[in-house]
Amino acid sequence: MKFVHIADMHFDTSFTQLNNSHLGTLRRLEQRKILKKVIDYIKNNNVKYLFIAGDLYEHKYIRESTIEYINNLFKEINDTEIFITPGNHDPYLKNSFYSKYDWNENVHIFGPNISKIEYEDVNIYGYGFNDFYYTNAEIEKFEIEDKNKINILITHGTLNGTNNIERQYNAISKSILEKIGFDYVALGHIHKSNYNEEKNIIYPGSTISMGFDELGAHGMIVGDINKNELDLQFIPLDESEFKIINVDITEMIAIDELIENINNLQIDENDYYEIYIVGKRKFEIDKYALKKMITNQRIIKLKNLTKRDYDIQKIVDENTLKGLFVKEILDRMENNDSDKELLENALEIGLEILDK
């Protein structure tokens, strides 16, 4: 039995990290292109099942024209059964497109209670959000009815979620899922894939990267399953990646040199970049003024992580308030390794204040 598993498309999201309306629009067009790739793969490889494990779209921003686009693609694969579990960004609400739109006949949308769709060799179970938070699945009480069949669960939630925030998003215990004995669990919600870490309880990750907290390749899981064997493959789909580049300014003596260095970076025009400016600085950096001087539009964000290039030993030897302050901080750092980073930040901030 062949299947494709995707999650977290977030159609019509605002892409706020791009800070640019043109690039946000471009990224939303890329969402459409990527779903078209998924559908084409299904058509070309005779895949009979498509699992969409939540957050297919953004309830707050989704347009009916986008729903029409999605559903028209679903019509192209009439012989493929499509299963959707609503997530926390696209819950099954009374006014949502899941409840008021006339989806193609091959689309199955799960509600908040665990339900089953039966086929000859496989039982497919699923449940989804009916609000922006969901905490009452009671999966621990569930039992598989026919263990001779292939049994698959599709849902959107937090695997092994333990803190109060994670519990609001359908926290699921991995040990309970293993005890129940599903042959495959198709998850959504976490945007990083665990394909290389887990055997059959799988997050595919977001199908398209949402921003700089989602680095690396993004795509879909393709599976072939029978009762005794599971073969999985991750196929990248997103032609763009979000990337971070460190630029060390320790040896630079002026802002002009930093601007020239950034503008000369080797940039892939398909990708999106955030520049981390690191090292010890000899000059002040106005991040917003600097951004206006960057010529490549694929550089979206700048982050100043530098520290002032102080001669600490010289300051310690001074018989001044600044010297006493630095000596006190250094003494505390020597006797408290656990707070070293906090004390380094305090040293930086204190010296800047005392310099004014």
Rounded to two decimals, the pTM is 0.86
How far apart (Å, rounded) are the C-alpha atoms in residues 174 and 161?
A: 10
CA 356 to chain centre: 42
So what's the pLDDT on residue 257?
A: 95
Domain boundaries, the chain: 2-236, 241-309, 310-356
So what's the pLDDT on residue 184?
A: 97
Dump the DSSP string for 242-297: EEEEEEE-TT--SHHHHHHHHHTS---TTSEEEEEEESEESS---HHHHHHT---T
So what's the pLDDT on residue 356?
A: 64
The tens-digit pLDDT sequence of the chain (356 residues) is: 999 999 999 999 988 777 666 888 889 999 999 999 999 999 999 999 999 999 999 999 999 999 999 999 999 999 999 999 999 999 999 999 999 999 999 999 999 999 999 999 999 999 999 999 998 778 888 999 999 999 999 999 999 887 778 888 998 999 999 999 999 999 999 999 999 888 999 999 999 999 999 999 999 999 999 988 999 999 999 999 999 999 999 999 999 999 999 999 999 999 999 999 999 998 889 988 999 999 998 999 999 999 887 777 888 888 888 888 888 888 888 877 777 778 777 877 787 787 76
Q: Kindly give the pairing relationship between strand 81-84 and strand 107-109.
A: parallel
So what's the pLDDT on residue 40?
A: 98
How far apart (Å, rounded) are the C-alpha atoms in residues 58 and 12?
A: 6
So what's the pLDDT on residue 100?
A: 95
Residue among 260, 310, 304 nearest 278 (CA): 304
Topology of the domain covering 2-236: Purple Acid Phosphatase; chain A, domain 2 (3.60.21)
